[in-house]
């Protein structure tokens, strides 16, 4: 490549960067004006953000992939929103957990993330008004439901206003560069289970597997001891400055965790929405079938069904159900009405846009 051609491309990039910068600030000016119209009220509008991202993906003609442009616009909206008012997002800490990555995936890097010691605390902080939203894990594709989050959703006054899907990649991390001399591997029990076969195949049997409270905690412990390694994700590797000895060591390649975002408000329809409900059924034959028949009658699809023992009575079950559509749609309203007639208890946990990223 000749120096002159290289220079002409770099000059073109410099000129475009100046234009992009001016346009970004114009965009921020509109966001600020919208912020003033909101008059100190609700600034975060998940339905609008979902529409912006979906439109960008649709408009994109490359060569940048849809995912890359959507991620860039995620950050642009995050920066624009933060000049209206910066948001604080509570998550299950410490720093470097997948919950923190999910919070950043949904709100971008301009949001302030606040690490909490437990999922309970993350809910409480938002319920008390000390943070704006909580991002909590609700299910993993290999390990199933996160029971504590489901339990907390039954009684919280907070509403679900979004969902985040995060591909979970685990790496073997260590302070030193090679595999030799590892005596112990730390990780959360779920992650040890998700990498069980890789560990069997790649580490000597005498290497001890120790479960700890989170992957970020595992990475912290490994950063303190040359004979220890950790299984954790990219964020924890970066946070504790560890080498990645082996990447993507999860046994199940599509390992994904779904998180829910909860805050103190309802969300308008975006055009592609889900509604999450919890309800109880009596413990008698056919009760669940009878309970769910209004869905089919109203042409509403169910995207999730999870049962969990209720804490109020022996052998009573709660059913966590996600349906397609928004509570402002007639078919969803009719379904809810019929469900309320049949179930002893129905709570709408929230209606929110389907994850775009
Ligand atoms: C600008 C707005 O406020 C926020 C920022 C958005 C953006 O940058 O596009 C979109 C939705 C809101 O979360 C808005 O409500 O339109």
> What ligand 1 atom has the least distance to the C-alpha of 48?
11
Q: Is 107 in the pocket of ligand 1 (CB under 6 A)?
A: no
| pLDDT reported for residue 315 | 65
Average pLDDT over residues 219-235: 96
Residues 91 and 164 in one domain: yes
Domain presence at residue 326: yes
pLDDT recorded at residue 287: 82
Q: Which residue owns the Cα nearest ligand 1 atom 1?
A: 31
Would you say the CB of residue 34 lies under 6 angstroms from ligand 1? yes
Quick one: which atom of ligand 1 is closest to the CA of 44? 13
Read off the pLDDT of residues 34-57 as tens digits, 9 standing for 90 and up. Answer: 999 999 889 999 999 999 999 999
Ligand 1 contacts CB of residue 210 (under 6 A): no
Domain containing residue 287: CATH number: 3.30.70.260
Residue nearest to atom 9 of ligand 1 (CA): 77
Ligand 1 near 50 CB (within 6 A): no
Summarised one tens digit per residue, pLDDT across range 193-206 is 989 999 999 999 99
**For residue 14, what pLDDT band results from cuts at 50, 70 and 90?**
very high
Whose CA is closest to atom 10 on ligand 1? 49
C-beta separation of 223 from 242 below 8 A: yes
Query: With bands split at pLDDT 50, 70 and 90, how would you rate the model's confidence at 285?
Result: confident
Specify if 44 maps to a domain: no
How do beta strands 208-211 and 184-187 pair? Answer: parallel
**Is the beta carbon of 292 within 6 A of some atom in ligand 1?**
no
Phi and psi for 192 in degrees, rounded to 5?
Answer: -60, -40
| Residue 286: pLDDT band with limits 50, 70, 90 | confident
> Residue 90 has what pLDDT?
98
Q: ipTM above 0.90?
A: yes
97 annotated active-site: no
Distance between CA atoms of residues 355 and 74, nearest Å: 12
What are 150's two structure tokens? Answer: 């489901």
> What percent of the chain is predicted at pLDDT more than 90?
85
| pLDDT tens per residue, range 297-307 | 999 999 999 99
b/e map of 33-44 (b: 16 or more CB within 10 Å)? eebeeeeeeebb
Q: Are residues 147 and 182 in the same domain?
A: no
What's the 355 CA to ligand 1 centre distance in angstroms?
17
* Cβ–Cβ under 8 Å, residues 252 and 205: no
Contact 245, 172 (CB under 8 A): yes
User: Whole domain around residue 343: which residue ranges?
Assistant: 273-353
Residue 236 lies in a domain: yes
pLDDT, residue 314, reads: 61
**Is residue 173 in contact with ligand 1, taking CB distance under 6 Å?**
no
Q: Does 193 lie in the same domain as 145?
A: no
Tell me, yes or no, whether 4 lies in a domain.
Answer: no
Query: Residues 201, 148: one domain?
Result: no
Residue 104 in any domain: the answer is: yes
Residues 148 and 189 in one domain: no
* Radius of gyration over every alpha carbon of the chain, rounded to an integer in angstroms: 23
Closest CA to ligand 1's atom 15: 45
Are residues 223 and 175 both part of a single domain? yes
Give percent of the chain with pLDDT exceeding 70. 99
Do 182 and 213 reside in the same domain of the chain?
Answer: yes
pLDDT given for residue 55 in this prediction = 98
Whole-number Å distance between alpha carbons of 44 and 120: 23
CA of 43 to the centre of ligand 1 (A): 7
Task: Please report whether residue 345 resides in a domain.
Answer: yes
Where a domain ends, among 263, 297, 313? 263
Residues 228 and 176 in one domain: yes
80-84, 141-145, 339-343: segment of lowest average pLDDT = 141-145
* 80 close to ligand 1 (CB < 6 Angstrom): yes
**What pLDDT is stored for residue 116 in this prediction?**
96
Q: How far apart are CA 248 and CA 167, in angstroms?
A: 11
Q: Which of 257, 267, 327, 335 is catalytic?
A: 257
Is 259 marked active-site?
A: yes
CB–CB of 56/70 below 8 Å? Answer: yes
Task: Supply the CATH number for residue 184's domain.
Answer: 3.40.190.10
Q: Could you tell me the pLDDT band of residue 22, with boundaries at 50, 70 and 90?
A: very high
Stretch among 8-12, 66-70, 176-180 having the lowest mean pLDDT: 176-180
Q: Which of 200, 231, 263 is the C-terminal boundary of a domain?
A: 263
Half-sphere exposure of 75 (CA within 13 A, CB side): 6
> Rounded to an integer, what distance in angstroms lies between the CA atom of residue 252 and that of residue 240?
26
* pTM (whole model) above 0.90: yes
The domain boundary, picked from 211, 246, 281, lies at 246
């Amino acid at each position: 490549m000749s120096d002159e051609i290289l220079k002409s491309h770099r000059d073109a990039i410099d000129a475009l960067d100046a234009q992009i910068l001016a346009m970004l600030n114009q965009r921020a000016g509109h966001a600020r004006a919208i912020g003033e119209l909101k008059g100190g009220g609700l600034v975060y509008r998940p339905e609008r953000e979902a529409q912006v991202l979906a439109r960008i993906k649709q408009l994109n003609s490359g060569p940048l992939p849809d995912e890359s442009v959507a991620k860039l616009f995620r950050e642009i909206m995050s920066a624009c929103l933060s000049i209206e008012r910066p948001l604080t997002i509570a998550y299950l800490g410490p720093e470097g957990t997948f919950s923190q990555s999910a919070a950043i995936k949904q709100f971008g890097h301009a949001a302030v993330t606040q690490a909490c010691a437990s999922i309970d605390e993350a809910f409480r902080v938002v319920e008390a008004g000390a943070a704006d939203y909580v991002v909590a894990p609700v299910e993993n594709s290999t390990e199933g439901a996160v029971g504590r989050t489901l339990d907390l959703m039954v009684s919280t006054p907070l509403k679900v206003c979004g969902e985040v899907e995060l591909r979970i990649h685990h790496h073997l991390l260590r302070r030193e560069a090679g595999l030799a001399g590892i005596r112990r591997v730390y990780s959360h029990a779920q992650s040890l289970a998700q990498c069980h076969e890789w560990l069997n195949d790649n580490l000597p049997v005498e290497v001890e597997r120790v479960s700890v409270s989170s992957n970020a905690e595992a990475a912290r412990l490994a950063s303190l001891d040359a004979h220890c390694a950790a299984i954790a994700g990219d964020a924890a590797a970066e946070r504790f400055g560890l080498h990645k000895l082996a990447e993507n060591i999860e046994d199940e390649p599509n390992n994904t965790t779904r998180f829910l975002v909860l805050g103190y408000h309802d969300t308008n329809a975006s055009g592609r929405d889900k509604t999450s409900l919890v309800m109880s059924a009596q413990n008698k034959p056919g009760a669940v079938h009878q309970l769910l028949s209004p869905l089919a009658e109203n042409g509403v699809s169910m995207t999730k069904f999870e049962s969990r023992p209720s804490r109020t009575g022996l052998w009573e079950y709660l059913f966590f159900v996600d349906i397609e559509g928004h509570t402002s749609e007639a078919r969803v309203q009719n379904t809810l009405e019929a469900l309320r007639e049949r179930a002893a208890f129905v709570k709408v946990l929230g209606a929110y846009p389907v994850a775009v990223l």
